[in-house]
């Protein structure tokens, strides 16, 4: 009975929802270190998908393959119905404006002010918003969604870890991406700041109507943001389901995540 309902649910999502991102049989090795051994994933429009995995399990490698920072050994990656691995540089850069990427360490440009940081992605892609010459409005709008308008003229060195993460988020928002990839959005932050960032992520999803892929090993973060989860173990998508389903699992390797 329970199973039948689950299948029905899955079928419904399959039929009604657009696939924003699809990974099939992704493999990647560094020498003898086989990091990904056939990873599969589908991200539907508007959902929050959480990927959990131990440190060093290849989460960052996987997400870097998704934006063309690393080249997988084999497998296919489709983003909004375009085959990522077959694109040329210009097409790739074009597609990248549709994808926001929040780096594990924020990766703010430390020689530039917050304003310049936010303006930087715009320098090549203003055509996305018509030919605007005044970027101030876009910058302020993005800063407003993360609640840091007052920091506009500060340097990254003057910001706290949590503020950096927010500015980095604002920088990915400025191109109005359809998909946002979060690499450990709460790592290195205290619990309270983590909560704020998580809250922010949920607001952003509502406000910008994005689909998000969230990588984390923070169980609290997964519980709050996830609509669906995938566990990455031994380089494959080991288990899939909602947070509650996985938490109730009897499998030893799955249980280990929720201790």
Partner 1 sequence: MIRLIKIRAFFIEIGELTYFTRRFLKELFSKPFEFKELLRQCYYIGNKSLLLVGVTGFIIGLVITLQTRPTLEEFGAESWMPSMVSISIIREIGPVIIALTFAGRIASGIGAELGSMRVTEQIDAMEVSGTNPFKYLVVTRVLAATLMLPILVILGDTIALYGSYLIENSKGDVSFLLYFNKVFNSLTFGDIIPATIKTYFFGFAIGLVGCFKGYYCKKGTVGVGLAANSAVVFSSMLLFVIDFIAVFVTDIFFET
Ligand X SMILES: Nc1ncnc2c1ncn2[C@@H]1O[C@H](COP(=O)(O)OP(=O)(O)OP(=O)(O)O)[C@@H](O)[C@H]1O
Under the rule (CB under 8 A), what is the footprint of partner 1?
Answer: 64, 67-69, 89, 92-94, 96-97, 99, 101, 103-105, 107-111, 120-121, 123-125, 171, 175
By beta-carbon proximity to ligand X, the closer residue of 105 and 191 is 105
Give the closest residue to 107 by CA, choosing from 57, 145, 60, 147.
Answer: 60
Q: How far apart are CB 124 and partner 1 at their closest, in Å?
A: 5
By beta-carbon proximity to ligand X, the closer residue of 77 and 174 is 77
With beta carbons less than 8 A apart as the criterion, state whether 197 and 170 touch: no
The residue whose two tokens read 């929720």 is: 258
User: What CA–CA distance (Å, rounded) separates 253 from 166?
Assistant: 33
Site of interaction with ligand X (CB under 6 A): 30, 33, 35, 53, 55-61, 104, 184, 217
- Contact region for Mg ion (CB under 5 A) — 27-35, 36-44, 57-65, 204-212? 57-65
Provide the angle, in degrees to the nearest 10, between the axes of the packed helices 161-173 and 191-208: 10
Quick check: 106 binds Mg ion (CB under 5 A)? no
Q: How far apart are CB 113 and ligand X at their closest, in Å?
A: 29
Q: How far apart are CB 64 and partner 1 at their closest, in Å?
A: 8
Q: Which of Mg ion, partner 1, ligand X, none sits in contact with 131, Cβ below 5 to 8 A by type?
A: none
Q: Where are the beta strands (DSSP E) in the chain?
A: 19-30, 33-44, 48-53, 74-79, 82-83, 99-102, 179-183, 211-216, 228-233, 236-241
């Amino acid at each position: 009975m329970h199973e039948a309902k689950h299948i029905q649910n899955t079928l419904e999502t399959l039929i009604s929802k657009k696939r924003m991102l699809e990974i099939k049989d992704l493999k990647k090795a560094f020498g003898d270190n086989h990091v990904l051994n056939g990873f599969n994933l589908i991200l539907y429009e508007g959902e929050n998908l959480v990927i959990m995995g131990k440190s060093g399990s290849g989460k960052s490698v996987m997400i870097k393959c998704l934006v063309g920072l690393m080249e997988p050994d084999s497998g296919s990656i489709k983003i909004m119905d375009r085959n990522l691995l077959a694109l040329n540089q210009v097409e790739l850069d074009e597609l990248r404006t549709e994808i926001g990427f929040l780096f594990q360490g924020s990766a703010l440009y430390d020689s530039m002010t917050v304003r310049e940081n936010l303006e930087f992605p715009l320098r090549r892609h203003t055509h996305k918003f018509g030919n605007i010459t005044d970027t101030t409005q876009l910058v302020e709008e993005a800063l407003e969604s993360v609640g840091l308008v007052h920091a506009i003229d500060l340097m990254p060195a003057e910001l706290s870890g949590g503020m950096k993460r927010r500015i980095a988020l604002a920088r990915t928002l400025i191109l109005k991406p359809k998909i946002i990839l979060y690499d450990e959005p709460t790592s290195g932050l205290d619990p309270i700041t983590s909560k704020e960032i998580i809250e922010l992520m949920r607001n952003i999803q509502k406000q910008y109507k994005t689909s998000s892929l969230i990588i984390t090993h923070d169980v609290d973060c997964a519980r709050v943001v996830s609509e669906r989860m995938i566990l990455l173990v031994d380089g494959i998508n080991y288990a899939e389901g909602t947070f509650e389903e996985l938490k109730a699992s009897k499998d030893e390797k799955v249980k280990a995540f929720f201790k």
